[in-house]
């Protein structure tokens, strides 16, 4: 007997799906909070949230199933604010002779049952996270918040006048400490007054107030604050026009905003929210303000994720030490393998460390997002961090990840950084402009990485402490294809690749930078062209050709096992022409090689084309996200004799790359004269901020 009356099981389940309405107006049948609705939601349900400000930690305990996802969405995208803050109206005490400066005790009652973000010291590495930011002993403070007393003491001893000199040996030697020693270029103030960052945040009328590291600056600068030495009081200089008790001050009281109670949940759709105001700790673990908590088959779309103290969104397995994960039931302290997550059409901005972080991501798609002003605190090794985790996008151990069509703009960090164990991933058709350190950085591949970086536009990358401001960096990663990119105005070289010493692949084998393929790119006005290691057992079979260089710098060997003297000796044996030998002598002084010498001693760039500004110029407008590219004539680009690159089927605009007329760079429809392109446009779902 057909007890379903002709209805299939799947149709019946769809019929049984519910819409749970969350409405702060207390409409009949609605829920007051998102978390309350999530408690009773089952696979196939939709939690529909009406406009408003929701101050809560949403901690779902179950997800959906294939074909029946749990959907949590804003009724109108951009009108539902989920915050980790509360409105704060304490009894302020005005400080004498200070203008608009007040102090008030911390609201201890709001931190019951969870950590106090104001008492926690910001920490970026895999150490114990329980160290307090206060109270502090002034005598132990340094401008560098490292946790190695020997290094700190050496810095203190070495301070002369306004700048620290390099510390004198003996010092513990490892890669991280060497970087701290090198981080000496910033002027410093009175060492007895610099305070470590806490995880707390204050907002006035929606504006993130600056956490100062000295009390004197708070007294001087409106819109700043500091935690007292004993950790009990906030000293706040209200912004101009602001005053206590007007209801416009908010204080972070939560270290998560959306983070499941259970790890590994699957089939969740999260759409249309503004997540903001969070006092979350730095990695590791990766504690995003919004977190999938090792979940798979999520769709995160049309959200704004901003003003996290450290990470905006974490979307991987969080940590490799499961016992150290907070908010975790015993049965979830095990390994998960996140896969199939889609992150699209979101805005990640003004987060303290990173926009998106992930660990062990397989078959992910990060597409059509805007990421800007992340690492807004300029957190860096040698100052506030011990590990380098800053980036608009920072992923580890990726497999088959696609990062495409994103606008990555003006981050105080690397634009796109894939680290430690990546394989078979692709970075394509992104606009990466105005970032620091590098535009795109691939570090430590996984054997034959087989990765592709194609049709990206990377512009105006600047220095970031010990990173040189290169457009694209490949380090200790082999079998990468770099094709049809446009790299403009890098402070460092357009492209560089090398194998780092003493950093093996994840399987323990020696790291290499071999089988790299750099084809069909356009490099304009960079401070260096292509830099590759001198051929060696860890750097072999690299190829670079059919590129276009416009007003570029020299070519160089980067991080080679051979010394410059050995390289010059080898080069001299290949050259006979007196002019070439004269150019080689110049290279002995600068380490840079002219295009003619480079091709002769390496066999690279034999078909590449060299132009000047009379033949090609470009103007990139980062805020309009447009490009004007003038070519005179286009036929000059055909001299590069570009061939089709396997796996790269279309250009930046979606035009096919085929036939005999293949052009270098990301546009196949170039014509003589001016060419104008809009590079990124919102689809209308994400409201402007």
Residue-by-residue DSSP string for 552-616 = ---BEE-S-SS-HHHHHHHHHTT---HHHHHHHHHHHHHS-B-HHHHHHHH--SSS-EEE-TTTE
Structure confidence at residue 179 (pLDDT): 40
pTM, rounded to two decimals: 0.89
DSSP string covering 605-654: SSS-EEE-TTTEEEEEETTTTEEEEEES-GGGGGGG---PPTT--B-TTS
Q: What are the two backbone dihedrals, phi and then psi, of residue 178, each rounded to the nearest 5 degrees?
A: -60, -40
How far lies 292's CA from each of 47, 126, 253, 321, in Å?
A: 17, 20, 21, 17
Q: Work out whether the CA dihedral 396, 57, 343, 470 comes out positive or negative.
A: negative
Q: In the chain, what are the domain boundaries?
A: 89-250, 338-344+358-370+388-610, 613-678
Q: What percent of the chain has pLDDT over 90?
A: 64
Token representation of residue 252: 């972070």
Question: Do residues 34 and 74 lie in contact, with contact meaning Cβ atoms separated by under 8 Å?
Answer: no
Sequence-distant (≥ 6) Cβ neighbours of residue 120 within 8 angstroms: 129, 130, 131, 132, 133, 198, 199, 279, 281
**What is the pLDDT, as a whole number, of residue 173?**
35
Three-state secondary structure call for residue 358 = strand
3 state SS for 454-521: ECCEEECCECECCECCEEEEEECCEEEEEECCEEECCCCCCEEEECCCCCCCCCCCCCCCCCCEEECC
The whole-angstrom separation of Cα 281 and Cα 680 is 32
Which range has the worst mean pLDDT, 90-99, 175-184, 286-295?
Answer: 175-184
Q: Name 207's bridge partners.
A: 204
Residues 346-405: tens digit of each pLDDT: 999 999 999 999 999 999 999 999 999 999 999 887 667 778 899 999 999 999 999 999
Sign of CA dihedral 600, 601, 607, 612: negative
Going by pLDDT thresholds of 50, 70 and 90, the confidence category of residue 115 is confident
The Cα 303–Cα 343 span in angstroms is 10
Structure tokens given for 71: 């959907």
Report the alpha-carbon distance of residue 689 to residue 351 in Å, rounded. Answer: 14
Instruction: Give the whole-angstrom CA distance, residue 125 versus residue 386.
Output: 6
Residues 6 or more apart in contact with residue 2 via CB below 8 angstroms: none
Summarised one tens digit per residue, pLDDT across range 502-522 is 677 767 777 888 999 999 999
pLDDT digits (tens, 9 = 90+) for 153-202: 433 333 333 333 333 333 333 333 344 333 333 334 444 457 888 999 99
pLDDT confidence tier of residue 644, bands split at 50, 70 and 90: very high
Q: Which of 162-171, 219-228, 434-443, 528-537 has the lowest mean pLDDT?
A: 162-171
d(CA 230, CA 227): 8
In the structure encoding, which two tokens stand for residue 489, read together? 């105005």
| Strand bridging mode 224-227 / 233-237 | antiparallel
What dotted CATH number matches 89-250?
2.60.40
3-state secondary structure 244-257: CCCCCEEEECCCCC
In this structure, what DSSP letter does residue 157 have? Answer: H
Give the pLDDT band of residue 579 (cuts 50, 70, 90). Answer: confident
Helices (H), 329-463: none
Give the pLDDT band (50/70/90) at residue 20. Answer: very high
The Cα–Cα gap between 135 and 117 comes to 14
Which tokens sit at 600?
């002769």
- Report the distance separating Cα 594 and Cα 573, nearest Å: 17
In the numeric block, which tokens belong to residue 620? 């990139």
**Span 310-349, pLDDT tens digits:** 999 999 999 988 888 888 999 999 999 999 999 999 999 9
Task: Give yes or no for a contact between 374 and 407, defined as CB atoms under 8 angstroms apart.
Answer: no
Residue 365 — φ and ψ, nearest 5°? -130, 125
Q: Is 171 helix (H, G, I), strand (E, B) or coil?
A: coil
């Amino acid at each position: 007997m057909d007890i379903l009356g002709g209805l299939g099981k799947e149709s019946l389940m769809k019929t049984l799906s519910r819409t749970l309405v969350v409405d702060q107006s207390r409409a009949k049948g609605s829920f007051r909070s998102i978390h309350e609705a999530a408690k009773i939601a089952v696979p196939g349900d939709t939690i529909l949230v009406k406009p408003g400000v929701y101050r809560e930690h949403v901690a779902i305990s179950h997800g959906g199933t294939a074909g029946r996802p749990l959907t949590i969405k804003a009724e109108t995208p951009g009108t539902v604010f989920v915050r980790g803050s509360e409105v704060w109206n304490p009894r302020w005490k005005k400080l004498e002779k200070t203008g608009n400066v007040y102090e008030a005790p911390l609201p201890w009652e709001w931190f019951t049952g969870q950590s106090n973000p104001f008492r926690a010291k910001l920490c970026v590495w895999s150490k114990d996270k329980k160290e307090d930011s206060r109270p502090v002993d002034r005598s132990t403070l340094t401008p560098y918040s490292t946790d190695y007393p020997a290094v700190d003491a050496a810095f203190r001893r070495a301070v002369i006048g306004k700048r620290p000199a390099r510390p004198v040996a003996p010092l513990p030697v490892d890669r991280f400490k060497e970087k701290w020693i090198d981080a000496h270029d910033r002027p410093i103030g009175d060492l007895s007054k610099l305070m470590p960052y806490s995880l707390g945040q204050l907002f006035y009328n929606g504006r993130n107030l600056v956490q100062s590291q000295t009390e004197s600056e708070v007294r001087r600068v409106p819109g700043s604050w500091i935690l007292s030495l004993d950790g009990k009081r906030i000293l706040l200089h209200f912004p101009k026009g602001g005053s206590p008790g007007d209801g416009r001050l908010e204080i972070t009281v939560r270290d998560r905003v959306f983070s499941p109670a259970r790890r590994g949940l699957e089939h969740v759709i999260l759409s249309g929210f503004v997540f903001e105001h969070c006092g979350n700790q730095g990695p590791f673990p990766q504690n995003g303000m919004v977190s999938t908590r090792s979940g798979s088959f999520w769709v995160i779309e049309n959200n704004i994720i901003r003003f996290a103290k450290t990470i905006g969104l974490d979307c991987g397995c969080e940590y490799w030490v499961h016992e150290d994960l907070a908010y975790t039931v015993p049965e979830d302290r095990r390994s998960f393998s996140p896969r199939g997550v889609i992150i699209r059409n979101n805005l990640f901005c003004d987060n303290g460390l990173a926009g998106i972080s992930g660990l062990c991501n397989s078959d992910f798609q990060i597409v059509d997002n805007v990421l800007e002003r992340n690492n807004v605190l300029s957190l860096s090794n040698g100052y506030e961090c011990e590990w380098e985790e800053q980036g608009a996008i920072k992923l580890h151990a990726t497999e088959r990840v696609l990062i495409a069509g994103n606008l990555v703009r003006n981050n105080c960090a690397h634009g796109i950084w894939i680290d430690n164990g990546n394989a078979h991933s692709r970075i394509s058709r992104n606009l990466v402009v105005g970032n620091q350190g590098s535009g795109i950085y691939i570090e430590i591949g996984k054997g034959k990485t087989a990765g592709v970086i194609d049709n990206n536009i990377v512009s105006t990358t600047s220095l970031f402490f010990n990173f040189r401001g290169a457009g694209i960096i490949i380090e200790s990663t082999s079998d990468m294809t770099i094709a049809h990119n446009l790299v403009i105005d890098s402070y460092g070289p357009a492209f560089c690749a090398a194998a780092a010493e003493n950093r093996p692949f994840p399987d323990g084998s020696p790291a290499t930078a071999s089988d790299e393929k750099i084809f069909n790119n356009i490099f304009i006005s960079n401070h260096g062209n292509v830099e590759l290691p001198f051929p060696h057992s860890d750097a072999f079979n690299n190829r670079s050709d059919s590129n276009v260089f416009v007003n570029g710098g020299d070519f160089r060997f980067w991080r080679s096992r051979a010394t410059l003297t050995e390289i010059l000796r080898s080069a001299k044996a290949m050259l006979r022409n007196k002019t070439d030998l004269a150019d080689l002598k110049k290279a002995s002084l600068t380490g840079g090689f002219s295009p003619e010498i480079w091709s002769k001693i390496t066999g690279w760039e034999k078909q590449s084309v060299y132009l000047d500004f009379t033949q090609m110029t470009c103007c990139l407008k980062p805020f309009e996200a447009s490009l004007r590219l003038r070519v005179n004539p286009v036929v000059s680009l055909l001299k590069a004799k570009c061939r089709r690159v396997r796996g790269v089927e279309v250009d930046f605009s979606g035009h096919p790359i085929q036939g005999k007329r293949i052009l270098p760079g990301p546009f196949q429809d170039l014509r003589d004269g001016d060419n104008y392109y809009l590079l990124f446009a919102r689809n209308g779902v994400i409201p402007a901020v």
